Amino acid sequence: MLLKIPPFFIAELRFPAAAETFSCAINAPITQEDTPFLYQLLRRTLSDAGLSTYNAKNAYKRTRPFVLNKEASCTPDAEKRLAVDGSYPSGHSSLGWAWALVLAEVDPENANAILARGRAFSESRVVCGVHWQSDIVEGRHIGASTVARLHADPTFRADLERAKAELAAVRAKGLKPTRDCQAEAAALTFQPPPAK
């Protein structure tokens, strides 16, 4: 049986919603209008980290939990596509963790909150029944490896510096996230009662 999770915790890869995922963690908006460099940096990382899992996915072709268990997932609209897409390793986890690492570099003062949000991004895939725990762990490893590789690219490093300056400018203007950050914080700290 799947736990019910708030809609804002379902790992979203489509922009602009995907960019907003981490706005509470950095306590600033991440939008094309307010933070165009940061927004574009996340979009570019989508290709690098999101697609980096496909060689392994195609080799292992691991069946997803909702298919094997014959249960619904919390993303029913994606089930038909996901049912034929390998589970191991998790592309969403690779991407969410890569975004968290990049954002922690852009905003080191909020690194703990950013990394917690990246972890929740990947763990939502297990809660939703679309990945096994080992899928998301390996996805995070691949995401970290992808970010390490991106550091060899001078364009990536320059974009990081632009994003840092841009975030400082947004903070100087006092711009805040438009999401319900209080609800997100409560959901991140929620601990289910122990099983009896």
Catalytic member of 62, 64, 117, 131: 131
Residue 183: the pLDDT is 84
**pTM (whole model) above 0.85:** yes
Say how many C-beta atoms besides its own lie within 10 A of residue 169's C-beta: 13
- Percent helix, strand, coil in the chain, to 5, is 65, 0, 35
**Mean pLDDT over residues 2-27, rounded?**
79
Q: Is 151 a catalytic residue?
A: no
| Per-residue pLDDT at 107 | 97
To the query of whether residue 180 is one of the catalytic residues in this protein, the response is no
**Residue 8: pLDDT band with limits 50, 70, 90:** low
Give the containing element (helix H, strand E) for 173.
helix 154-173
pLDDT tens-place string over residues 51-86: 899 899 889 999 999 899 999 888 888 889 999 989
Active site residue 141: no
Catalytic residue among 62, 64, 117, 125: 125
Residue 119 designated active-site: no
The answer to whether 106 and 38 have CB atoms below 8 angstroms apart is: yes
Mean pLDDT of the chain: 89
Q: Is the pLDDT of residue 24 over 60?
A: yes
Residue 109 buriedness (CB in 10 A; 0-12 / 13-18 / 19+): exposed
pLDDT score at 1: 46
Q: Note the pLDDT of residue 5.
A: 60
Please give the domain boundaries of the chain with CATH numbers for all domains.
24-176 (1.20.144.10)
Q: How far apart are CA 107 and CA 33, in angstroms?
A: 19
Catalytic residue among 34, 48, 62, 92: 92
Contact 170, 35 (CB under 8 A): yes
> Which residue did the predictor score with more confidence, 156 or 73?
156
Nearest partner of 22 among 107, 148, 90, 127, judged by Cα = 107
**pLDDT score at 142:** 96
